[in-house]
């Protein structure tokens, strides 16, 4: 009888934190301070990003979300190792291998 291959879930500590570079649309009910947001050309309010594409709410000293308790709802629903996390990580790995840079919107 074959032994099943163990499933290794990715951990944030061993990830390139691609989720912290995704476009995060801020909803009116989110409690994000205005100075952390930006407007897209299409008029959406999104989390602002720094020059390297990281969400401006990331605390660079601790590499964690500085507004974790007040983060947008979409961030709250992003499940570590969940299906969307896995999809984003796989797309990022594939693009990196093929030399396609991360595209920021």
Token readout for 28 is: 């009116």
- Within a domain: 7: no
**Residue 64: domain span:** 12-97
* Percent residues over pLDDT 70 in the chain: 82
> What pLDDT score was predicted for residue 36?
97
- Within a domain: 17: yes
Taking only the tens place, the pLDDT of each residue in 1-52 is 555 544 555 556 667 777 888 899 999 999 999 999 999 999 999 999 998 8
| Alpha carbon distance 40, 48 (integer Å) | 10
**Which of the pair, 100 or 35, is modelled with greater confidence?**
35
Sequence-separated (6 or more) residues with CB below 8 Å from residue 69: none
Strands (E), the chain: 37-39, 45-47, 58-59, 64-65
Mean pLDDT of the chain: 83
**Which of the pair, 103 or 8, is modelled with greater confidence?**
103
Domain total in the chain? 1
| Alpha carbon distance 69, 77 (integer Å) | 13
- Within a domain: 73: yes
| Alpha carbon distance 80, 42 (integer Å) | 29
- Within a domain: 2: no
- Within a domain: 102: no
pTM above 0.75, yes or no: no
> What pLDDT score was predicted for residue 72?
96
């Amino acid at each position: 009888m074959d032994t099943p291959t163990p499933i290794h879930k990715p951990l944030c500590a061993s990830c390139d934190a691609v989720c912290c570079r995704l476009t995060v649309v801020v909803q009116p009910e989110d409690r994000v301070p205005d100075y952390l947001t930006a407007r897209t050309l299409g008029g959406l309010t999104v989390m602002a990003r720094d020059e390297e594409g990281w969400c401006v709410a990331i605390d660079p000293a601790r590499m964690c979300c500085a507004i974790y308790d007040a983060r947008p709802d979409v961030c709250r629903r992003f499940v570590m190792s969940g299906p969307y996390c896995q999809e984003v990580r796989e797309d990022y790995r594939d693009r990196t291998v093929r030399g396609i840079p991360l595209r920021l919107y």
